[in-house]
Amino acid sequence: MMVKRSMAMGRLAKIPLRTPCFSGIVCYNNREQWKGSAISDRVRINQDIRYPEVRVIGADGSQLGIMSSRDAYMMARDQGEDLVEISANAKPPVVKIINYGKFQYQKMKELSKARKNAKSSELKQIRLGLRIGDNDLNIKINKIREFLADGDQVKVTLLFKGREMAHKEVGMALAERIIGILADEATADKPTQAGRNLSFGLRRKSK
């Protein structure tokens, strides 16, 4: 540990040693200094890995066979790399020879991508009149497809104006037309009338 005197506090503060190791990422000298990370506090590395046998993956992804965790650690050390536990529940456990900073970077990218893909579904709304033309209808349908592709639900509302309320069958026919166009892509709720609005929901079909 390096020791630095804090002028403001008037006492000694401990600062962990850190060394750059991969594309500007800072790697700590032991696992305890990674404590608090959502990734590293569940990952054992180097001499923390103690098994009679482990299956070893090389830095290039090649299978290096089964050996003791000590032999695997010595191999990683000879290559100037770390030994990282990949799967503790496998039989035998799987470890990989890799720079720990690089491993951390790859995992952070994977977590970021997973969070992005698992974003909460939103309810989008599309409104249109009964006298909408074919071109405008196609534009609305393409917008619905975009929302569905993003994992969002869509509420489609048909608006009745003036004397159109006397011809509710026209609105129902338009709703069924839209549902039919999207039948291969979306699951639709039954259209329901509420005042001057006829609405139905659309959800992307499971693949």
* CA distances, 83 to each of 49, 106, 107, 176, 197 (Å): 8, 15, 15, 60, 63
pLDDT of residue 198: 94
* Omega within 30 of 0 (cis) for the link into 20: no
Give the C-alpha separation, 155 to 126, whole Å: 6
Beta bridge partners of 54: 67
Confidence (pTM): 0.44
pLDDT of residue 120: 60
Give the C-alpha separation, 39 to 33, whole Å: 13
Residue type, 191: P
Q: What is the DSSP string of the chain?
A: -EEEEETTTTEEEEE--EEEEETTEEEESSGGGGTT-TTGGG--BGGG---S-EEEE-TTS-EEEEE-HHHHHHHHHHTT-EEEEEESSSSS-EEEEE-HHHHHHHHHHHHHHHHHHTPPP-EEEEEEETT--HHHHHHHHHHHHHHHHTT-EEEEEEEP-GGGGG-HHHHHHHHHHHHHHTTTTEEEPPPEEETTEEEEEEEEPP-
Domains of the chain, by residue range, sit at: 29-116, 123-204
- What's the CATH number of domain 123-204, 1.10.760.10, 3.40.630.30, 3.30.110.10, 3.30.160.270? 3.30.110.10
pLDDT of residue 88: 87
Q: Which residue positions in the chain have pLDDT lower than 50? A: 1-40
pLDDT of residue 39: 44
pLDDT of residue 110: 83
Give the C-alpha separation, 19 to 33, whole Å: 12
Nearest one of 139, 191, 129 to 165, comparing CA atoms: 129
Tokens representing 69?
């965790």
pLDDT of residue 101: 87
CATH no. for 29-116: 3.10.20.80
Beta bridge partners of 124: 154
What is the C-alpha radius of gyration for the chain, rounded to an integer number of angstroms? Answer: 30
Tokens representing 94?
């799987």
